[in-house]
Amino acid sequence: MKKLFIITNESIFNYEGQFFCDNIDVKSTPEGLKNIFDINIIARKSKKVRSHKINVKNVKTYGNIVSFLLCIFRTAKNDNCKYLVISITPFTTLACIVLKFLRKKPHVYLRSDGYGEYKSIIGFFGPPIYHIMFFIVSKISNLVSCREHILRGRKGNVVEPSQITNKWVSDHKSIELEKIRILYVGRIRVEKGIFSLLKILKKLDKNISLSIVGAEKISNKTIIQKNVNVYEIETNEDNLIKFYDDHNIFVLPSYTEGHPMVLLEALARRRPVIIFNEIQHVIGNKKGIFVSERNHKSFFDTLNHIINNYKKIQKEMEKNKLPTNKEYLDKFAKLI
């Protein structure tokens, strides 16, 4: 069995030899590939408690750039191995350069549009900084992306990430529409647009509530707002499905997205989705996704349109053909 070294800049918490992360993809992709490869993860060390337990034996975390690079250098003794680098960051760009020096050519998995993401985090200088990293990495790596446009014309393969299992597409629940109950599942980050959504909700009717599922166990981002309930990251599949079933509209307020898996989850539970203009590309041929401008009037109009046409919209959503987790992992394994 070939070794697969997965290199990521995500933070992983080590508790008595067990490893935890907040990003579900950092957990599910290695776990899904471990029956095909001998998985070894190299990641950033976290001092904070994280939510998702990673069921992979070989995980190494680094606390600084020196230990990170040394860890990668030590992998060179393995001739029968492959490398998968997740996302382009300063650390993973250095990883690709080191691997080039070691005469290794990694696969680099782009899960979102880094240009938009860096702009939302850093501002004006974000896209030029990302462009330099993208230019370097694309020259010395095999690119794999969740969307064609993220490749920016470079040669690469496209996969459709998904966490959808049979549970997600069965036993659908009826829904009450007397009150608008909005759900957001995701991390509480500026680039995810959650704070702009909170500002919009302050100007809306008191009969509209929002549930946020994605708070880190230890976080300095405290949200206190009327009709807003915040829950920690949910790791249990049944409980997460129940969150979707207990709400009637899902909102994805991100400024940038590649192939958001929470959107697939909402569609699988037949909950209409509202997004904003910046990520219209995620719609594709999917039914049940509505675009709002990022202001309270447009958002309120979109909410009302969905509620007033709910049954018709759900009927259309039954036509969606959603990618499954198995299909995603099978294709990823073949590409690597």
Q: Are residues 145 and 172 in the same domain?
A: no
With respect to residue 332, please indicate whether it lies within any of the assigned structural domains: no
Quick one: pLDDT at residue 113?
A: 87
Q: Are residues 119 and 203 in the same domain?
A: no
With respect to residue 335, please indicate whether it lies within any of the assigned structural domains: no
In the predicted structure, residue 120 carries a pLDDT above the cut 90: no
The last residue of one of the domains, among 97, 130, 158, is: 158
With respect to residue 325, please indicate whether it lies within any of the assigned structural domains: no
Q: Are residues 308 and 178 in the same domain?
A: yes
Q: Are residues 148 and 231 in the same domain?
A: no
Confidence of residue 216 (pLDDT cuts 50, 70, 90): confident
Q: Render the burial of 56-87: b for 16+ CB within 10 Å, e for the rest.
A: beebbbbeeeeebbebbeebeeeeebbbbbbb
Bigger pLDDT: 126 vs 204:
126
Q: Are residues 38 and 144 in the same domain?
A: yes
With respect to residue 279, please indicate whether it lies within any of the assigned structural domains: yes
Residue range 96-125: mean pLDDT, rounded: 92
With respect to residue 201, please indicate whether it lies within any of the assigned structural domains: yes
- pTM here is 0.83
pLDDT in tens, 58-96: 999 998 989 988 999 888 887 889 999 999 999 999 999
Residue type, 134: F
Residue 290 burial by Cβ neighbours in a 10 Å radius (0-12, 13-18, 19+): middle
With respect to residue 326, please indicate whether it lies within any of the assigned structural domains: no
Quick one: pLDDT at residue 336?
A: 86
Q: Are residues 282 and 189 in the same domain?
A: yes
For residue 282, give the CATH number of its domain.
Answer: 3.40.50.2000
With respect to residue 111, please indicate whether it lies within any of the assigned structural domains: yes
Q: Are residues 92 and 200 in the same domain?
A: no
Q: Are residues 142 and 23 in the same domain?
A: yes
The last residue of one of the domains, among 99, 124, 158, is: 158
pLDDT in tens, 250-261: 999 999 888 899
Q: Are residues 59 and 173 in the same domain?
A: no
The Cα–Cα gap between 160 and 150 comes to: 13
Quick one: pLDDT at residue 258?
A: 81
Q: Are residues 115 and 243 in the same domain?
A: no
DSSP-assigned beta bridge partners for residue 109? 86, 144
Nearest to 275 by CA among 296, 297, 299, 259: 299
CB 66 within 8 A of CB 60: no
**DSSP for 256-311, written as a single string:** --SS-HHHHHHHHTT--EEEEGGGGGG-TT-SSEEEE-SSHHHHHHHHHHHHHTHH
Quote the tokens at residue 18: 């067990």
Main-chain dihedrals φ then ψ at residue 212, nearest 5 degrees: -110, 120
Range of the domain at 92: 3-158
Structural domain count of the chain: 2
